[in-house]
Amino acid sequence: MRVIGTAGHVDHGKSTLIEALTGIHPDRLQEEREREMTIVLGFAWLTLPQGEEVGVIDVPGHRDFIENMLSGIAAIDAALFVVAADEGVMPQTREHLAILDLLQIQGGVVALTKTDLVDDPEWLDLVEADVSETLAGTVLAEAPIVRVSARTREGLPALLAALDAALVDKPHRLDLGRPRLPVDRVFTMPGFGTIVTGTLSDGHLTVGDEVTILPGGLGGRVRGLQTHKRKEQTAIPGSRTAVNISGLDVTQVARGDVIAHPGDYHPTRRIDLRFRALADISTPIRHNTQVKLFIGAAEVLARLRLLGTEVLKPGDEGWLQLELERPVVAIRGDRYILRRPSPGETLGGGVVVDPAPKKRHKRFDGKTLGKLESLSGGTPADILLQSLLSVGIAPLKEAIAHASLEAQTADQALEALLDSGQALVLNAERAQMNSNSLVVAARIWLDLKNRVEVEIANYLAAYPLRHGMPREELKSRLKLPARIFNVVLEKILASGSLVEIAMRQNLPGVSPLPVISQPGHAIQFTPEQQARVDRLLAQFKAEPYAPPTIKTCMENIGEDLYHALVDLGQLMPVSSEVVYRWDDYQRLVGQVRYWIEKEGSISVAQMRDRFNTSRRYVLAFLEHLDTIHMTVRDGDVRRLK
Which positions touch Mg ion (CB under 5 A)?
14-15, 38
Shortest reach from residue 249's CB to ligand GDP, in Å: 33
Partner touching 305 among ligand GDP, Mg ion, none, CB below 5 to 8 Å by kind:
none
* Positions that interact with ligand GDP (CB under 6 A): 10-16, 36-38, 61, 113-114, 116-117, 149-151
String of DSSP letters for 166-177: HHHTSPPPPB-S
Exposure string of 86-96, with b = 16+ CB inside 10 Å and e = fewer, is: bebbbebbebb
33 or 615: whose CB is closer to ligand GDP?
Answer: 33
- For the purposes of burial, counting CB atoms within 10 Å of the CB of 251, is it exposed (0-12), middle (13-18) or buried (19 or more)? exposed
> How many other C-beta atoms are found inside a 10 Å radius of the C-beta of residue 209?
21
Shortest reach from residue 41's CB to ligand GDP, in Å: 12
What is the DSSP code (8-state) at residue 59?
Answer: -
Report the alpha-carbon distance of residue 629 to residue 632 in Å, rounded. Answer: 7
29 or 168: whose CB is closer to Mg ion?
Answer: 29
Shortest reach from residue 161's CB to ligand GDP, in Å: 18
Exposure string of 283-317, with b = 16+ CB inside 10 Å and e = fewer, is: eebeeebebbbbbbbbbbebebbbbbbeebeeebe
Partner touching 10 among ligand GDP, Mg ion, none, CB below 5 to 8 Å by kind:
ligand GDP
115 or 606: whose CB is closer to ligand GDP?
Answer: 115
What is the DSSP code (8-state) at residue 278?
Answer: -
114 or 475: whose CB is closer to ligand GDP?
Answer: 114
Q: Under 8 Å CB-to-CB from 445, ≥6 apart: which residues?
A: 393, 424, 426
Shortest reach from residue 15's CB to Mg ion, in Å: 3
117 or 493: whose CB is closer to ligand GDP?
Answer: 117
Q: State phi, psi for 302 to the nearest 5 degrees.
A: -150, 155
82 or 322: whose CB is closer to ligand GDP?
Answer: 82
61 or 237: whose CB is closer to ligand GDP?
Answer: 61
Shortest reach from residue 116's CB to ligand GDP, in Å: 5
Shortest reach from residue 250's CB to ligand GDP, in Å: 28
Q: Write out the E strands in 230-289.
A: 230-232, 234-235, 240-246, 258-260, 268-277, 285-286
CA 52 to chain centre: 13
Partner touching 2 among ligand GDP, Mg ion, none, CB below 5 to 8 Å by kind:
none
CA distances from 469 to 445, 452, 500 (A): 21, 11, 9
12 or 305: whose CB is closer to ligand GDP?
Answer: 12
14 or 255: whose CB is closer to Mg ion?
Answer: 14
25 or 471: whose CB is closer to ligand GDP?
Answer: 25
CA distances from 353 to 52, 61, 106 (A): 33, 30, 20
- For the purposes of burial, counting CB atoms within 10 Å of the CB of 421, is it exposed (0-12), middle (13-18) or buried (19 or more)? exposed
Partner touching 114 among ligand GDP, Mg ion, none, CB below 5 to 8 Å by kind:
ligand GDP
Partner touching 624 among Mg ion, ligand GDP, none, CB below 5 to 8 Å by kind:
none
Q: Which of 11, 9, 48 is nearest to 27 (CA)?
A: 11
Cα-only R_g, the chain: 32
Partner touching 517 among Mg ion, ligand GDP, none, CB below 5 to 8 Å by kind:
none
Shortest reach from residue 14's CB to Mg ion, in Å: 5
Shortest reach from residue 68's CB to ligand GDP, in Å: 13
Partner touching 312 among ligand GDP, Mg ion, none, CB below 5 to 8 Å by kind:
none
Q: Which of 474, 483, 371 is nearest to 427 (CA)?
A: 483
Exposure string of 152-166, with b = 16+ CB inside 10 Å and e = fewer, is: eeebbeebbbbbbeb
H-helix or E-strand containing 324?
strand 317-328
Shortest reach from residue 240's CB to Mg ion, in Å: 18
Q: Contact at 8 Å (CB) between 264 and 271?
A: no
Shortest reach from residue 71's CB to ligand GDP, in Å: 17
Partner touching 63 among ligand GDP, Mg ion, none, CB below 5 to 8 Å by kind:
none
Shortest reach from residue 90's CB to Mg ion, in Å: 14
> How many other C-beta atoms are found inside a 10 Å radius of the C-beta of residue 523?
16
Report the alpha-carbon distance of residue 609 to residue 595 in Å, rounded. Answer: 13
111 or 596: whose CB is closer to ligand GDP?
Answer: 111
Q: Contact at 8 Å (CB) between 73 and 7?
A: yes
Q: How many helices (H) and strands (E) does the chain have?
A: 19, 34
Partner touching 149 among ligand GDP, Mg ion, none, CB below 5 to 8 Å by kind:
ligand GDP
Report the alpha-carbon distance of residue 29 to residue 7 in Å, rounded. Answer: 19
Shortest reach from residue 495's CB to Mg ion, in Å: 48
Partner touching 468 among Mg ion, ligand GDP, none, CB below 5 to 8 Å by kind:
none
Partner touching 117 among Mg ion, ligand GDP, none, CB below 5 to 8 Å by kind:
ligand GDP
Q: Tell me how far apart the terminal alpha carbons of the chain are, to the nearest angstrom.
A: 58
Shortest reach from residue 166's CB to ligand GDP, in Å: 20
Report the alpha-carbon distance of residue 284 to residue 286 in Å, rounded. Answer: 6
82 or 285: whose CB is closer to ligand GDP?
Answer: 82
18 or 167: whose CB is closer to ligand GDP?
Answer: 18
Shortest reach from residue 4's CB to ligand GDP, in Å: 15
Partner touching 13 among ligand GDP, Mg ion, none, CB below 5 to 8 Å by kind:
ligand GDP
92 or 321: whose CB is closer to Mg ion?
Answer: 92
Q: What is the 3-state secondary structure (H, E, C) of 560-582?
A: HHHHHHHHCCCEEECCCCCEEEH
Task: Name the residue number minimizing CB distance to Mg ion.
Answer: 38
